[in-house]
Amino acid sequence: MPSFVQPGRILFLVAFCCSASFAYMHLTRVLSTVASPENNPADNRLMRDQRAGTLAVPQLGSPMSSLAGESEGALQSAEPFDLTTAAASRAEIRAKWSGLHSRILADLDAVAACRSDQGTCSQATRRFLSIVELGQNHDGRARLGWINRAVNLSIKPMSDWGQHGSPDIWTSPLQTLGSGAGDCEDYAIVKYTAFRDLGVKPSDLRLVIVQDPKRQTEHAVVAVRHDQSWLILDNRTMALLNPEQAGHYYPLFTLEQPGIRTMTAAAADRVIDR
């Protein structure tokens, strides 16, 4: 197989990501140490608040903003993994991201309504607000870490086959938090939306599809630029990773407002055939 991703593979690129058994064992070990009251009372409070439906209601930030005027050619700017990108031409993946973006905006409308009138709040919107509130209570790198931790602890790993009976379903943030289960792209989408709600600029935020050759899968992570450097947020770890620490991943695509961009040939050449 040539060392690039074929269009057909992109339609189910997250179907095999984040092995549920691996993620469940990993988070079980994490929860046994990090989520205990004596070690991390805020984690324990988050889970109690989600069960009880209690939360403080923060202010809604700007949900999404446009990168109008972006060139459809190569984008010569610093990107996650220190690579440049070029506009992706695959209609299928663009349509899928566009549909998801519309559902994200609808969810943010529901969150705004919940903030205005708690009588309209669903359990999922309360969970989202609890996560955002944790982020609001911290600044800088600590905010990124708390959001990463809160989302990782809020979702039980489950494959799309197991949950939806389909190989590749991209659910909106409130759908994921409502079910309490999802695979790697579902974790990433919730984090992406939480950071947009907290006011992170679109230019500093990416949802990145990577290849993980060790596990023979594709995988989804979030990249956030902080202090001029990118940090990788992964549902497989509570740690914030710099690009060097995430060097076992081969980046393929970035999903961002307003569209999809593919990593340059330099990155594609690193992808291992399978």
pLDDT tens per residue across all 274 residues of the chain: 333 344 444 444 444 455 443 444 443 443 333 333 344 544 555 555 444 444 333 222 222 222 223 333 333 346 776 555 555 556 777 788 888 989 999 999 999 999 999 999 999 999 999 999 999 999 999 999 999 999 999 999 999 999 999 888 889 999 999 999 999 999 999 999 999 999 999 889 999 999 999 998 899 999 999 998 999 999 999 999 998 899 899 888 888 776 777 655 434 444 333 2
- CA–chain centroid gap for 95, Å, is 18
pLDDT at residue 171, rounded to an integer: 94
pLDDT at residue 167, rounded to an integer: 84
Q: Residue 252: in which H helix or E strand, if any?
A: strand 250-255
Residue ranges of the domains in the chain? Answer: 7-50+78-268
Pick among 3.40.50, 3.10.620, 3.30.70, 2.40.50: CATH of 7-50+78-268: 3.10.620
The dihedral built from the CA positions of residue 235, 241, 246 and 251, taken in this order, carries a sign that is positive
Cβ-proximal residues to 19 (8 Å cutoff; 6+ apart), any chain: 215, 217
pLDDT at residue 53, rounded to an integer: 43
pLDDT at residue 25, rounded to an integer: 41
Helical segments of 58-90, H only: none
Tokens 């919940």 belong to 114
260-263 vs 217-226, strand pairing mode: unpaired
pLDDT at residue 2, rounded to an integer: 37
Tokens 């695509």 belong to 253
What's the whole-model pTM score?
0.71
pLDDT at residue 264, rounded to an integer: 52
pLDDT at residue 263, rounded to an integer: 54
Tokens 């023979």 belong to 216
